[in-house]
Amino acid sequence: MPEKHRRYSLKEKEAKALLAKASERLGLDLIQFSKSKASFEIVESDSGEVFLINGKPFLFKAGDDVFPTLVFDQFLDSAPHVVVDMGAIPYVCKGANVMAPGIRRFDGNFRKGSLVVIVDEKHGKALALGEILYDSEEAKNVKQGPVVRNIHFVSDKIWNLIKTL
């Protein structure tokens, strides 16, 4: 049975506050959207809340935090990447944290707590969004244990909600 959701427009003040919070977290200037004639909507469901800009799902809300979706190309292109081997893919796509042995390389610099995009080594496709647990130099030397905490992944509830919009 399809999940029910509610879709409605956001007031400009609410949209600006959400964009400011997301801009700070992502290190991107999302305020530019509020200066244009963009439409801002929110989709609420049991799976979560997805924020649409001009009908495209750019952000989602988890608790009090705002994160980019896996279809927000501007963020995916600018964020640091963690490249994983093909054996890690099924686990990452089921929500597992990224473990050190499955990591092939890091592209870009990051600080502990930064958001990173997890991509596969063969095609470079975004599999998940995660929070890195180490700084750039530290992460390269980790040989075991988790390196990235998985936040949003292909086939999770938010992903499935986005696909129905």
pLDDT score for 130? 97
Q: Which residues of 105-140 are buried (b: 16+ CB within 10 A; e: fewer)?
A: ebeeebeeebbbbbbbeeeeebbbbbbbbbeeeebe
User: Regarding predicted confidence, which is higher, 36 or 151?
Assistant: 151
* Domains of the chain, CATH where assigned: 5-70 (3.10.450.120), 74-159 (2.30.130.10)
pLDDT, tens digit (0-9, with 9 covering 90-100), for 120-134: 999 999 999 999 999
Task: State how far the alpha carbon of 76 is from the alpha carbons of 10, 30, 130, in Å.
Answer: 25, 14, 12
pLDDT, tens digit (0-9, with 9 covering 90-100), for 65-95: 899 999 999 899 999 999 999 999 999 999 9
Band (1; pLDDT cuts 50, 70, 90)? very low
pLDDT, tens digit (0-9, with 9 covering 90-100), for 19-47: 888 888 888 888 777 667 788 999 998 88
pLDDT, tens digit (0-9, with 9 covering 90-100), for 104-115: 999 999 999 999
